[in-house]
Every structure is written in C-alpha cells, then in structure tokens.
Structure 1
C-alpha cells in the first residue's frame, strides 16, 4: 500500500465520506457509482439513499482511502474511492451488450471494479493503485475467484482526460497483477476499454 494511506470499507457510518467523494458539490443528481447496479425504475433522486442502503450491508459497495500522515493539517481526510461488487449485485453488467458476459453460476464469485475517484490535489500519488490493490483483497475476503476491470487504453504520449479516467487505465490494472484479456465494444471518453482480469485461486500473494 502507498505510504501515508489507510483504506477502509465504505460502511454506513462512513457515508458522509462517501458523499464527499461522489457528490462534493451537493448536487444530488450524480451517478453515485450505481451505473451497473442500479435497480430498475430507481429514480435519480433515490440514488443517494440506495447507495447508503448498500453501505449498510456486507460486503460494502466500495472502499475509501484516507490520509494517514500525523502532523499534517489534512491528516485523516478522505481522498479516494473505488466502487466494486460481484456480478450478482450488478444487474446492468449481467445484461451488457458491450462488455463480456459471464455465466450466471459465476456471478457471485466474479467481481467487477467499477470506478475510481481521487480528490483534486491528491492525484498521481498512487492512491488509485492502493485502492485497486485493496479492492482485490476485499473481493477475495468475500469469496471472489476472479476480479475484473474495464479500463481505458491511453493514447500514446497523452494523459487520460479526467472524464474518462474514472474507469482506470490498463497500466493501473497491470501494475496490480491484472492480465489484459481483450478489447471490448465499450468506450470511455472515446477511448477503447479493455478487459483486465486477475484470477485469485492459487494467487501467490494471497495470505495463508
């Protein structure tokens, strides 16, 4: 884990910090990291409450990164979020036409990393990488056998626009041991998205 960070599950008692990450301007009409797991018919103004309900369940729907640097004025501040869930809890992902599908029997043990948010002023410090590494552990601890992501491939010599970076980059996932499987029909910010996968059974980094 990146030095000076603490990663915690997004539980109900930390929902104010979830709000800080996902709705910093207090607009209420944001995605709330529910694109793949929003129940059919849920109104836009019901998203916040639905995510709060998910934060009260186990497993948590995401992880939060906090600064852990005693002596700094922002010590303890929340600075990052990663959303993830098993496919069994992601109804839109089960029906997707642009991303690879998985057989229903594997939905509970196939987890998807959905999105990253890192607060301005704290980017390019390894926070997303620390969140992704912790997400793998979180999924493994809750029975995952596979963790997948669908990040973008940056154009050579160019940085990924913030509007597209919420899905992560191929390089980010590869740095945490994911393997590139293939290109998808999906895009983010007009950049192609790839399937990156990490198999967990027999993982040499697993605790034991």
Structure 2
C-alpha cells in the first residue's frame, strides 16, 4: 500500500512547464544544469546557451522515454528525478570512475531535486520509488544509482542531489560495487536493484 502523499508522473511534453519550475532558473538567461551534465558529452553541454538548455530538455520530454519523473503534492510540482537508460547518459556510459558491472542494459537514476520548503518530507524517497516503477514500466531489467556513502555524516543540500546509500537501501537497492568517484568529499557507491 502506498503511504506517500506524493503523486509521481513522467516528465512528458505536457508537463514541461513543471520541469522548468523545478530545474530552470528564474531568469531564463542564467546558466543552470537542467539535469544535462550527466546526459551530454561535456563539450556539447558547455556549448549550450541557457535558453538552448531549456529547449534541449523540452525536446527530451517529447521523446517516447521522457528524461525523468516529477513528484506532485496535489497539483503542485515539488520534485524531479532524472532516470533513463544508462546508455543515454554519456557521463555514466563512458565513465572511468563508475564501473560497468556487466552487459545488462540497466537504467540509471542520477539526480534528485526537491523544491525549497519541501525538503525533509519524503519527496526524494517517493521519487526513488517512482523511478523504480518508471524504469520497470519501460522494461528495464535493473536500475542503478550512484549515491554518496556518507554514513551518518550530513551531506550539504546542494550536493545531496545524487542521494545517499541509506536512502537507496531503504528503497530495496543493494551495494553492487565501490567506485572511484567522489562528491563533496564522500565516496560514491554503485547501488543496484533488479526489476525482474
């Protein structure tokens, strides 16, 4: 039984305004990630202007597999999670620091964004559960995440976007490998959950 008060929806074209609410800057000419840093090769990512970034995400939302999912509290969008086939994510499909375990065409969850005033209410956990269902619904054999292994130490809010090992463990993921990647001084681990 689902006890979360949040509704999870795919980030499709008709929900692009909500994607922009969570990921986009107030000033459309400000440079922000738009959750493209892990998806695109660095040269392509750096070459995009702020408005081109928004346009790129809008194009991704129009594809059969959207670039992520959104969390809603009633009609209000409160969070975002990037989830897609790992093969579409340049930083992970070409990574020297995060290993490939096998040839399984896994999906990856790599980014959580919760709107200010909504943190600490379970939005990220609801998004992770939603990412599992989203990937399973598209036939993914397994879902991977690359959270920080912070133990009981606090993670800076701006660096918590990859999630924590404990959060992934609570969602049924298990440790699959160590990585040589770090974020904000914490090691990142490869967590995996089978979807079959």
Give the TM-score normalised by structure 1: 0.85
Q: Distance in 2 between matches of 1:133 and 1:91?
A: 24
Q: Distance in 2 between matches of 1:2 and 1:165?
A: 24
Give the TM-score normalised by structure 2: 0.90
- 1:148 and 2:144 matched: yes
Q: Is the 8 A contact 1:163 1:189 kept in 2?
A: no
- 1:192 and 2:191 matched: no
- 1:177 and 2:172 matched: yes
Q: Is the 8 A contact 1:9 1:60 kept in 2?
A: yes
Q: Distance in 1 between matches of 2:94 and 2:14?
A: 32
Q: Is the 8 A contact 2:108 2:143 kept in 1?
A: yes
Q: Is the 8 A contact 2:176 2:191 kept in 1?
A: yes
Q: Which runs of 4+ in 1 moved over 4 A?
A: none
Q: Distance in 1 between matches of 2:149 and 2:89?
A: 24
What is the correspondence of 1:105-116 to structure 2 with a 5 Å cutoff? Answer: 106=104, 109-116=105-112
Q: 1:49 aligns with which of 37, 51, 55?
A: 55
Q: Give SS of 1:166's match.
A: helix
Q: Which runs of 5+ in 1 are unaligned?
A: 69-75, 202-208
Q: Distance in 1 between matches of 2:14 and 2:166?
A: 33
Deviations 1:80-99 (A, max 9, x none): 10001102211221111110
- 1:134 and 2:125 matched: no
Q: Is the 8 A contact 1:152 1:169 kept in 2?
A: yes
Distance apart, 1:3 and its partner CA: 3.1
Which residue of the partner structure matches residue 23 of structure 1?
A: 24
Aligned length: 190
Task: Give the superposed CA RMSD.
Answer: 1.7
Q: Is the 8 A contact 1:82 1:115 kept in 2?
A: yes
Q: Is the 8 A contact 2:25 2:32 kept in 1?
A: no
Q: Is the 8 A contact 1:33 1:114 kept in 2?
A: no
- 1:118 and 2:119 matched: no
Q: Is the 8 A contact 1:95 1:101 kept in 2?
A: no
Q: Give SS of 1:41's match.
A: helix
Which residue of the partner structure matches residue 99 of structure 1?
A: 98
Deviations 1:89-147 (A, max 9, x none): 112211111101255x53xx300001000111111111111110110111011110010
